[in-house]
Chains A and B, each alone.
Chain A
Amino acid sequence: MFDFIVGKYNYWIHIILMMIGFYAMMSKRNLIKKIIGMNIFQTAIIIFFISIAAKRGATLPILEHAHDGGEHAIEAISYINPLPHVLMLTAIVVMVATLGVALAVVILVYRKYDTLEEAEILKKIK
């Protein structure tokens, strides 16, 4: 039972983090709070993928003794899985691009309606 909890608890904390972002996206009425919730959601997904890649007793995905002429055999089990790192590297940059476009739209909304609260914007649209 203790091994079960130790093996799984970080997945549960990542899910709680993701749900905090989801709740902020759904129920907060301020537009910048919604964007902060979206940021938390995306980082929770990224941290989940990185924790899949972790291996016990392995080193960083940078080859040791790489320029010795190949005397040391390279075994895949002694290096951390590099593939999720690459995919999440792409995802972080796309996350910041999404954040920039969303904030540009928020600034445009503020210029037109002079508020960031959803209820007041809806009242002014009518």
Chain B
Amino acid sequence: MILLFDFAILIFVLICAVAAITVKDLLSSVIILAAYSFLLCLLWAGMGAVDVAFTEASVGAGIGTILLIVAVSKTTRRSKD
């Protein structure tokens, strides 16, 4: 674990989390959530949890984003908050 690297990625993760729940458009919120998942994957690879990073990159960021995009495209993109 490199201290500065870790801290910078944690700050990016926080920014992505706040942006994902404040953006009004649901599709861009989902894409920001995918970026959040990949930043977490980078953080776990830095902590030494390689298998968890692989699983998050394939399952959490891949399949989860696809499921959310399918749900948004079958419903609506607009959100009031």
Contact = CB atoms under 8 A, between A and B. Distances in A.
Chain B binds chain A: yes
B21 to A, nearest CB: 4
A121 interface: no
For chain A, what secondary structure do more than half of its interface residues adopt (helix, strand, loop), or is it mixed?
Answer: helix
A40 to B, nearest CB: 5
B1 A54 contact: yes
Interface residues of B, number: 43
Contacts of B3: 6
B60 A32 contact: no
Nearest to A109: B75
A37 B21 contact: yes
A31 B1 CA distance: 37
Given A30-B80, A33-B79, A43-B40, 16 more contacts: A9-B7, A32-B29, A33-B81, A36-B29, A40-B33, A40-B36, A46-B52, A53-B49, A59-B48, A88-B52, A93-B59, A95-B60, A96-B60, A107-B75, A110-B76, A115-B76
Interface of A: 6, 9-10, 13, 16-17, 20-21, 23-24, 28-30, 32-33, 35-37, 39-40, 43, 46-47, 50-51, 53-54, 56, 58-62, 80, 85, 88-89, 92-93, 95-96, 99-100, 103, 106-107, 110, 115-117
